[in-house]
Amino acid sequence: MIKIEIPNPEVVITKSRQVGEKVEAPLSSVYGFTDYNKIPRDKGGIILFFDANDDLLFVGKARKLRPRIKRHFEDTVSPIKNHRDEVYKIAVLVVEEPMDREIYETYIINTLHAKYNIEKVFYK
C-alpha cells in the first residue's frame, strides 16, 4: 500500500472584508480576498477552497497558481461559480511536478471529501 501525506500549505489567505466594502490595500478585492500577492505567481500546485466552518469545498490544481485562483472567481465556467460566496479560506500547496499534482489532487478529493468536486471521486 502506498502512503501519501498531504503537505502543509505554503500560503493560506482568508476573506477579510465583506464584498463591496472599502479596503485599505490598493489591490483588488475579489470576493473579499485582497492578499493574492502572497500566492506565488509562477509556481504550480494544489488549491484548496474552504468555507467558514473549515469544510473543504473544492480542490484544484494549476501550473501557475495566482492566475488560476483569480480565474476561479472570474470565469463563467469555473466549477465553483455558483458557490463563490461560500469560500472563506484558500490554502495553497506548492507542488512543481505535474504527476505529483495529479496524485495529490485525487488523494485530497477522496480523503477529505471535497464538496463540489464531481470528477475523480471514488468514495460515493
Assigned C-alpha cell, 77? 465556467
Q: So what's the pLDDT on residue 29?
A: 59
Closest CA to 57 of 35, 83, 20: 83
Q: So what's the pLDDT on residue 58?
A: 96
- Three-class DSSP category at 108: helix
Q: So what's the pLDDT on residue 20?
A: 54
Annotate 56-69 with DSSP letters as a single string: EEEEEEESSHHHHH
Q: So what's the pLDDT on residue 27?
A: 44
Assigned C-alpha cell, 111? 480523503
Q: Name the phi and psi angles at 13, rounded to 5.
A: -115, 145
Q: So what's the pLDDT on residue 119?
A: 87
User: Going by DSSP bridges, is the β-strand pair 45-50/89-94 parallel, antiparallel, or unpaired?
Assistant: antiparallel
Assigned C-alpha cell, 98? 505535474
Query: If you count DSSP H runs as helices and E runs as strands, how many of each does the chain have, helices first?
Result: 2, 4
| Overall residue count recorded for the chain in this entry | 124
Q: pLDDT averaged over the chain?
A: 87
* Predicted confidence (pLDDT) at residue 53 exceeds the cutoff of 70: yes
**Between these two residues, 18 and 3, which has the higher pLDDT value?**
3
Q: So what's the pLDDT on residue 5?
A: 93
Element housing 72 (H / E): helix 65-74
What tens digit of pLDDT does each residue of 64-96 get? 999 999 899 888 888 898 999 999 999 999 999
